[in-house]
Chain A
Amino acid sequence: MKQKPSRGKGGKSRIDKKESKWAYIKKNYVLYLFLLPAVLLVFIFNYIPMYGVLIAFQDFSVTKGIFGSDWVGLDHFRSFLTSPNFIRIFMNTIKLSVYGLIIGFPVPIILALMLNQVRRMNIKKNIQLVIYAPHFISTVVIVGMLFIFLSPAGPINALITQFTGNPVSFLSDPAYFRTIFITSGIWQGAGFSSIVYVAALSNADPQLHDAATLDGASLLQRIWHIDVQVIKPIMAVLFILAIGGIMGVGFEKAYLLQTDMNIPASEIIDTYVYKRGLLAGDWSFGAAVGLFNTVIGLILLVIANTVVKRLNGETLY
């Protein structure tokens, strides 16, 4: 973020500048009052918890508070990293989000490129309207629908039993967890995520397509050399953001989809934090695991940003 020097008074002395700053604040105090509520809420619900993360290095007890609790250094991190669960939970998190990203990221882009070929505007609008719909269904309802459709007595198993005779235990078999999670995610989100690409594509210069067609470019060549190039910058930014979000993968849905039996695939870091930290009251351990997760996420974000910048010249910050 580049800013112009706030006021073009180059020749004045330092003190003058300071005074004029105070004068400015005094005169425009309303602007600062406007900022106050937002600053306050962000301070309370974002910054105080950042300070509260210190409990990750303590044996925090609610009665003693942050000041009175004993410090244990990196003990909680050590016990998490060396626990037999660690590798499994960590890999579950990574697999769920990386597979989800690889499979899910291109879908809205392809959808937008497909929609862009629809000539009749009203048809295009109507298709969009339909494919947005699942975005407005809540996570709880989506999971509820999955339970209905995939249960042993549900319609999908009714179809399967007609052919094979045996129902598939989709919801309890860990082998199906990721597929269900990712597929339902695409069903719910891909249409709505395509909005931004569709909008960018409709801003592309139509004369480019005409010129390319005259030069004998095929449809696929035009899509690749014109349409894809138009949306590349947006793809880059969204990709960086997606990488940054890898560690925060859809916890709300994962938790709902968890059954006692699919835990081997469905336990991810965030569900583990919730259960150990909040449900079992192991505050410090939960905070430590959460902090570990945040830090990995931040590192991934920075790496992705650097790589994309090198390749593409696009950057997030």
Chain B
Amino acid sequence: MARHSLINNSPVDRLILFVNKVLLVLIVLAVIVPIAYVLIGSFLKPNILLNQGISFNPDHWTLDGYRRIFEDGSIVRGFLNSVFYASGFTFVAVVFTVLAGYSLSVETLVGKKVITIFFLFAMFFNGGMIPTYLVVRNLGMLNTPWAIILPGAVGVWNIILTRTFFKGVPNELKEAAQIDGASDLKIFLSVILPLSKPIIFVIALFAFIGQWNSYFNAMIYLDDQSLYPLQLVLREILVQNEVPPGMIADQLARAEMQRIAEMIKYSSIVVASLPLMVMYPFFQKYFEKGVMVGSLK
């Protein structure tokens, strides 16, 4: 980076820079240590983990927690449900948002102002949890995947984001196509869409991650356990302390059951978090892009 020139810093400045480095190292450690603790703990035999903490002795390691998770259906089923919900939600979010954002970016659109206000008002005011629940209920969506996929899929903020993005597309491109006699649909498909990969990617990414990690809508809209997304299954294990009985059924002693349940907590955290943890570094630049487009209004 060119910004730091050859001009020398004073001793005080150099000290500050040194302290800065030390603090950053500490911050990085503060982030890594809890994550590493859970990761390592998930491979440890329960009595070791509970009695002496982290150990690097290979005799203390086991894959038992993972075996129990994969032999029992609940986490796997939750995982698959979550893949389905997050994909459906992302699909709806991307398609509906990009279409609407594009239309609103057309300068000449008649009624643009009214429609924009329609969207913006919904951003600042909402009916709240109970009235929204009643709508979902009246639509007969309770206990169906629709209750997870549809509400909230179209975010006003995302529409504004895409509109801003499309406004940045040079008008000449559209005009050239118009002169060639292309219809609106054709312009959108052949000129606009190929240019909008970054914004589609950003919206898809945030929608997918948001849905993957959320539990609340599923908690209020779904009763049927077979429909539970991963986060709800995790909530039972981690927060309500109810490990699915199938995972510890082979144990007779209550104390041993509890120890194993504790280990299963660690392994289920790893199984649930691993996909995003492995993937997000590849998308780093898109997060930065997405946040920047958003901040420009």
Contacts and interface: CB of A to CB of B under 8 A. Distances in A.
Given A38-B96, A141-B273, A147-B239, A294 B231 contact: no
A256 B235 contact: yes
Given A45-B151, A147-B239, A141 B128 contact: no
A130 B97 CA distance: 31
Contacts of B99: 34-35, 37-38
A84 interface: no
B197 interface: no
Interface stretch (A47-55, A88-96, A97-105, A172-180): A47-55
Given A139-B215, A252-B215, A52 B104 contact: no
Contact of B265 (A148, A200, A244): A148
Interface string A221-254: 0000000000000100100000010000001100
A38 B210 CA distance: 19
Interface of B: 1-5, 7, 9-10, 12-13, 16-17, 20-21, 23-24, 27-28, 30-32, 34-35, 37-38, 50, 53, 92, 95-97, 99-100, 102-104, 106-113, 115-116, 118-120, 122, 124-136, 139, 150-154, 156, 159, 183-185, 188, 209, 212-216, 220, 231, 234-235, 237-239, 265-266, 269, 272-273, 276-277, 280-281, 284, 287-288, 291-292, 294-295
Contacts of A44: 135, 139, 150
Contacts of B30: 187
Contacts of B216: 251-252, 255
Given A42-B119, A138-B272, A50 B231 contact: no
B31 A131 contact: yes
B100 A35 contact: yes
A155 B53 contact: yes
Contacts, number: 285
A291 B128 CA distance: 7
Interface in A77-91: none
A211 B17 CA distance: 19
A147 B266 CA distance: 11
A15 interface: no
Contacts of A117: 17, 20
A127 B28 contact: yes
Given A50-B125, A218-B10, A25 B35 contact: no
24 contacts: A7-B108, A31-B106, A37-B99, A41-B150, A49-B127, A49-B134, A50-B131, A53-B128, A55-B130, A114-B23, A114-B24, A119-B1, A127-B24, A131-B28, A137-B276, A145-B269, A148-B238, A155-B37, A196-B292, A196-B295, A206-B3, A234-B295, A290-B127, A290-B129
